[in-house]
Amino acid sequence: MKKLTFGALMILTVTVTASTAMAQDVAAGKSSFNKCLACHAIGEGAKNKVGPELNGLDGRKSGTAPDYNYSDANKNSGITWNEAVFKEYIKDPKAKIPGTKMAFAGIKNETEINNLWAYVSQFDKDGKIKQ
Ligand code: HEC
């Protein structure tokens, strides 16, 4: 009986720790997104700014935000955004899409990139948080 209780406690501890870590990732990603905010909106009611709105990015084809005037480079990149492509792109946007008009040097820190993806990828195409 004692053993069982201990086991249950362990599982509970691990679960709580894991979900806390994830919550932190999203929060850290949100503050990292401050670097993007000058040019990008995300979430409900997000509009195109200097750059396109980024709702529903996971699975979205490059160059397809409605009414946004993309460069040919971005439009014709053939990219479908997902975790792997995004992480490569955001390290050095001009290397991944030569000729892009996104004037951003990139983010090199892997943890920051992971947090940023956790934040960005949670929004569906209507800017709602995915369940
Ligand atoms: C100085 C303005 C600026 C900043 C800062 C900026 N972007 Fe951009 N971004 C752009 C522009 C402009 C484009 C459109 C590029 C084109 O058409 O060549 C773009 C395009 C993109 C795209 C491609 C979208 C699509 O629909 O294909 C992604 C993804 C993206 N940005 C993510 C980010 C993220 C994440 C950050 C912050 C870490 C960021 N950008 C910071 C201006 C910016």
What tokens were used for 23? 């919550």
Choose the residue to mutate in 104, 110, 120, 123 for probing ligand 1, maximizing ligand atoms within 8 Å of C-beta: 104
Residues within 6 Å of ligand 1 by CB: 35-36, 38-40, 50-52, 54, 57, 62-65, 70-71, 73-74, 81, 90, 100-104, 107, 120
User: What mean pLDDT comes out for the span 2-9?
Assistant: 60
What is the end-to-end Cα distance of the chain in Å, rounded? 37
Looking at this protein, which amino acid is placed at residue 119? Y
Count Cβ atoms within 10 A of the Cβ of residue 2 and give its class: 0-12 exposed, 13-18 middle, 19 or more buried: exposed
Give residue-wise pLDDT tens across range 50-104.
999 999 999 999 999 999 999 999 999 999 999 999 999 999 999 999 999 999 9
Tell the residue nearest (CA) to atom 2 of ligand 1: 39
**Cβ atoms within 10 Å of 21's Cβ, excluding its own:** 9
Residue 43 and residue 123 in contact, taking contact as beta carbons nearer than 8 Å? yes
Count Cβ atoms within 10 A of the Cβ of residue 100 and give its class: 0-12 exposed, 13-18 middle, 19 or more buried: buried
Choose the residue to mutate in 34, 36, 55, 61 for probing ligand 1, maximizing ligand atoms within 8 Å of C-beta: 36
Q: How far is the CA of 78 from the centre of ligand 1 (A)?
A: 16
